[in-house]
Amino acid sequence: MYVSTITKKICRRQLAILPLIRLLFAVAHLPFVFSESSSELSAVDEDLFAALRKDDVVAASAALAAGASINAISPRGQQTPLMQSVLHGRVEMVRWCLDNGADTTIPERDGYTPMHGAAFQGHAVIADMLLKHGVPLRDLHKDGFEPAIRSCWGPEPRHLETLQWFLDNGVPLDDIYDKCLEMTKNPNTEAFLKGMRASDDQEEL
């Protein structure tokens, strides 16, 4: 009887402790959860991103002077001011970021760097700016694709223009031909690639 009573008390105490154990376990995992969603931007960093969206060089410069980071990371897309400007085709803001020391090697959430962003969005002018600033033309992403191939994916005329820019600036047609032809949904890009290959074959005769 006495032993049974003690056993019951121990069981009740164990049951009472279970919610506390669950709470401690949850708290222990909070830092991991928080690290997965980027920390909030400072007020001046928010001012900088707001200036970027408005193509406002004066406001961007004021935010930078007030302490904003030229390499601040946006919470959602994990994009720097430079990367966000590249993706949205904001030529003047890309120039401003480069002139103010933006790090061109910082990738966004999925690992794409600025040259990949310019190619994917079909921004040849921006790709040219990046190249002149020393950004590699053929930087490989972890998926094995170089920027020129990403320009083949786009359906707009600007994507074909960007592909032509990559070829004009030294990307060998043979290195991207098969993969581009396989992946493109742009009939103009397909026709251009086949025309380039036919022209090369004709020159070899």
Residue 198 pLDDT: 86
Residue 55 located in a structural domain: no
Residue 75 located in a structural domain: no
Residue 97 located in a structural domain: no
Name the residue range of residue 23's domain: 1-36
Residue 12 pLDDT: 53
Is residue 71 within 8 Å of residue 105, measured between CB atoms? Answer: no
Which pair of structure tokens corresponds to residue 109? 């959430």
Place of tokens 């430079």: 82
Query: In this structure, are 32 and 117 located in the same domain?
Result: no
**Mean per-residue pLDDT pooled into runs of 10, the chain (205 residues):** 45 45 34 38 96 97 98 94 98 98 97 97 98 96 96 96 98 96 94 89 59
Please state the domain count of the chain. Answer: 2
Residue 202 pLDDT: 61
Question: Residue 185 sits in a domain of what CATH number?
Answer: 1.25.40.20
HEC-encoded secondary structure of 48-83: HHHHHHCCCHHHHHHHHHCCCCCCCCCCCCCCCHHH
Put simply, whether the predicted model's pTM sits higher than 0.95 gets the answer: no
Residue 71 located in a structural domain: no
